[in-house]
Amino acid sequence: MAKTVNSNGFYRFLEWLMWIMYLNLLWVMMSLVGLIVLGIFPATAALVTTIREWCVRKDGIAFNKTFFKAYKHTFIQSNIIGYLLTIIGYILFVDFQWIMQHTSTFQSLFLVLFIVIGIIYTITILYIFPTFSHFDLSIRQTFKHAIVLGLFSPLVTIAMFIALFLLQYIWRFIPGLLPVVGVSFTFYIVTRAAIFAFESFENRQQSLLEKKYVKGEKKHA
């Protein structure tokens, strides 16, 4: 019995690894199809959407259909989101260079402010595509929800940072894994964590609504 359980577990792991490798290949392929500059963000959105469906539905997901459908349907919006993040990141980089090159009495204040903004920007990067794939929102609302959900789920966000930090050591120790599973495995971790954050936040919201409803019923009683 134990051998059967172990065999099933090993088989499921191999199947999971196969799909992780395949999704990484799809991401690379569709990034190149869009000549990278137009393909990388739709490929990322499609990757996260597929991983989300995989995590939520557990089985029975059509990987190819889900990926290519998401790639096509999110092509414009995902590029807008991606390049907005790129522009914001470039502005932050230029500002940081300016702060470090100009000494003044306000340098420490500016540096602290920059660090806070940088943390919020990093949280946005982590949550933006999971938020985009999970909710049906405008681009503006997607950014807003990504920031709010990231800030209001501190434990999950910290866990993401730690996991990604540890991943850097894995890629350095076994660099051959990076081109094979680097992108898909990274987003698998981020997406699973984000789904947990979304569900926890939604449960808290539902709990608050139920408490308000109960209080309202008591007042009218």
pLDDT tens, position by position, 194-214: 999 999 988 888 877 766 655
Residue 96 phi, psi (nearest 5)? -65, -45
What is the Cα–Cα distance from 76 to 67, expressed in whole angstroms?
Answer: 15
- The closest of 127, 114, 184, 115 to 159, measured between CA atoms, is 127
Tally of domains within the chain: 1
CB-CB contact of 111 with 137 (8 Å): no
Instruction: Flag whether pLDDT at 216 surpasses 70.
Output: no
DSSP for 124-170, please give it. HHHHHHHHHHHS---HHHHHHHHHHHHHT-HHHHHHHHHHHHHHHHH
pLDDT of residue 206: 80
- % of the chain exceeding 70 in pLDDT: 90
pLDDT of residue 219: 62
Domain holding 147, by residue range, is 2-220
Lowest mean pLDDT among 45-49, 69-73, 100-104, 120-124: 100-104
